[in-house]
Structure 1
């Protein structure tokens, strides 16, 4: 078991920056960097420098780490290179010809690039696309489960696309309740978990979700161009992937033209080699060694501490992120109108080496479990002086 202190020691970013932008791009650990450097060096000699036997099998160990993280079988996991790619793979593998009378559900809080695939499916197959409108409670944007139920009661639906955690203000929907409601109407649920996996305890069996896609380069602390999908085992036979390659086949080293012999597992979605994914495996191994339950507890405690400190020390602010069961690792705060958010973010980054983002008309803070309360104190103090 890795302690939080040992976890922090693995993150060299802490020596130069206060990094509160894991909802943007996460830094990689020293062990992940070392592994990627070794792999890159091995290719200097081309085919002579690569040990092909472990290279052909390493993705199995990566999938095992992922399955441990989200509580599923590794046979239900395939590696991709982003959330959007994973969503597109899953959507394009479905039989829309026979179900085009049943619509899709999205909502108006979704990250744009992840909603594009649904829009394209809707356009290509003439499938109705329904957008659930968010509501505001005390200035905080949320989604109501009742609105999803009402839509499924009034029109036929085949699939809900939903982010577990919304990227702007960190609203966390109750996925377990949503999937139970959806399944009452024979509706499947495809989850964008980019802002939850690596920060929160995402147990796909407990949540009951049908499909899940995520990138590995935010809270998972993996390299860019990494990610994975989860597909519930009983649904694998119903999907026919369009994007396939050597690793999708049961005999990936038989190169001559022949009939495609697809894997029975989610591996049929894993179409190509990706050196970077080995780095994702190391990153998730580190998270697993710390324990995702411990990570979530620490992140939520940091968010609660940050809210308290901002409220106590800076007047005129408005917290637009939910807390409690609807909260996550994202804290977005609106400041008085006189505050230039973009300039504030630039000053924090360039002068003070503090990494955050501007989102939803506020400053978005997203600390990880290796961050500390002392770092929060410094960030609050610096912002107080700037504004």
Structure 2
């Protein structure tokens, strides 16, 4: 069992506010990886059947995380980009159809749809006007030729929490497919795939899920799964996987049909450990703690005369991300100085992005703002 009392071993001199980029592993996850490596060094794959049990546990944990009907709906991928590519190039497109997404999306959720233009598909990249809700802009761009809407649950640069229910309701009523990139919310905020009405959900595990890079979730609705043309083939994606003498080539009916080759067992063990911790603590508590940290950051930034909030001030739109800029300041230079002073953050959206997790103490947030104040007023420690 993971140690929920002190689950992290971050260096005391760090103020780690970069979970929207790459999260540190919980202590239990690091210990899991060490045990796995030591076992492999001593015993090789003697316990492979147990490793497969861990793989099944990970599918169960991922299904729990999005409230999927079944673990069979889950495919384990290498990245969000790989999962999106399986969707985009698995669907059968007709020339003249279009896919709608926001200009503000992370590149992975733009370039994959733009790659469809070779098939005569229009990639409608929407830039909402001043004061226009992004959901309204997306839906206004849809027409009878719209095949799919793709959106992030939380926008990576601004931290804007999208109204997925509104988009999903429109999509389902209008026979439009709905794809959600949930990498900036899974592990931080509650997500219910049935409530949202998403046909596809994708997310890598190295951000709010507190896992390693290289292990990602692909959810496909059972009604649509077999409509996706496969472009990668191998033993693991077969219905008869494990029966190496079988000559049948039928793909698995489950999400495993998108997993062509041998699984990343090291990454699977790590992500499963991290998700087990999240499940043990509970998403309700985790979300409450994250949003409490967000509320404090918004207050501190709004009260500072030199800082301008880029993220939404609307509590309903908040996530774990708070982005701001320094009025009259060189944002890139200030970001670099914060990093040098061990405030680990990111330069995004024309400003500086802070993204604390549930375990980030509020004292750390106050300290980060005090360091920022010294940076912008050119004070030395």
TM-score of the aligned structures, taking structure 1 as reference length: 0.90
Pairing partner for 2:115 from 103, 111, 120:
120
Q: Distance in 1 between matches of 2:371 and 2:140?
A: 47
Aligned to 1:22: 19
Q: Are 2:301 and 2:309, in contact at CA under 8 Å, matched by a contact in 1?
A: no
Q: Are 1:109 and 1:134, in contact at CA under 8 Å, matched by a contact in 2?
A: no
Q: Are 2:199 and 2:220, in contact at CA under 8 Å, matched by a contact in 1?
A: yes
The offset of 1:334, in angstroms, is 1.1
Q: Does 1:251 align with 2:240?
A: yes
Pairing partner for 2:335 from 321, 342, 345:
345
Aligned to 2:150: 161
Q: Distance in 1 between matches of 2:243 and 2:47?
A: 18
The offset of 1:200, in angstroms, is 0.9
Please give the root-mean-square deviation of Cα atoms over the aligned residues, in Å.
2.0
CA-to-aligned-CA distance 1:6-43 (integer Å, 9 cap, x gap): 64611111534211100110110111111112222333
More helix by share: 1
Query: Once superposed, which parts of structure 1, at least 4 consecutive aligned residues long, lie more than 4 Å away?
Result: none
> How many equivalent residue pairs?
372
Pairing partner for 2:270 from 279, 283, 291:
279
The offset of 1:172, in angstroms, is 1.5
Aligned ranges for residues 1-387 of structure 1 at < 5 Å?
7=4, 9-13=6-10, 15-44=12-41, 48-72=44-68, 73-96=70-93, 99-123=94-118, 125-137=119-131, 143-153=133-143, 155-255=144-244, 258-272=247-261, 273-275=263-265, 276-312=267-303, 314-322=304-312, 323-337=314-328, 339-351=329-341, 353-387=342-376
C-alpha change, 1:101 and 1:57, in structure 2 (3 Å) is farther
C-alpha change, 1:64 and 1:180, in structure 2 (3 Å) is same
CA-to-aligned-CA distance 1:298-322 (integer Å, 9 cap, x gap): 111111111112233x313211101
Secondary structure at the aligned position of 2:160 is classed as coil
Q: Are 1:107 and 1:133, in contact at CA under 8 Å, matched by a contact in 2?
A: yes
C-alpha change, 1:88 and 1:127, in structure 2 (3 Å) is same
Q: Note the residue ranges of structure 1 that are not aligned, 5 or more in a row.
A: none
The offset of 1:295, in angstroms, is 1.1
Secondary structure at the aligned position of 2:130 is classed as strand
The offset of 1:235, in angstroms, is 1.8
CA-to-aligned-CA distance 1:320-378 (integer Å, 9 cap, x gap): 101322221110011122x2323322332233x22111112211000000011111111
Q: Note the residue ranges of structure 2 that are not aligned, 5 or more in a row.
A: 377-381
C-alpha change, 1:348 and 1:152, in structure 2 (3 Å) is closer
TM-score of the aligned structures, taking structure 2 as reference length: 0.92
Q: Are 1:199 and 1:368, in contact at CA under 8 Å, matched by a contact in 2?
A: yes
C-alpha change, 1:360 and 1:259, in structure 2 (3 Å) is same
Secondary structure at the aligned position of 2:38 is classed as helix
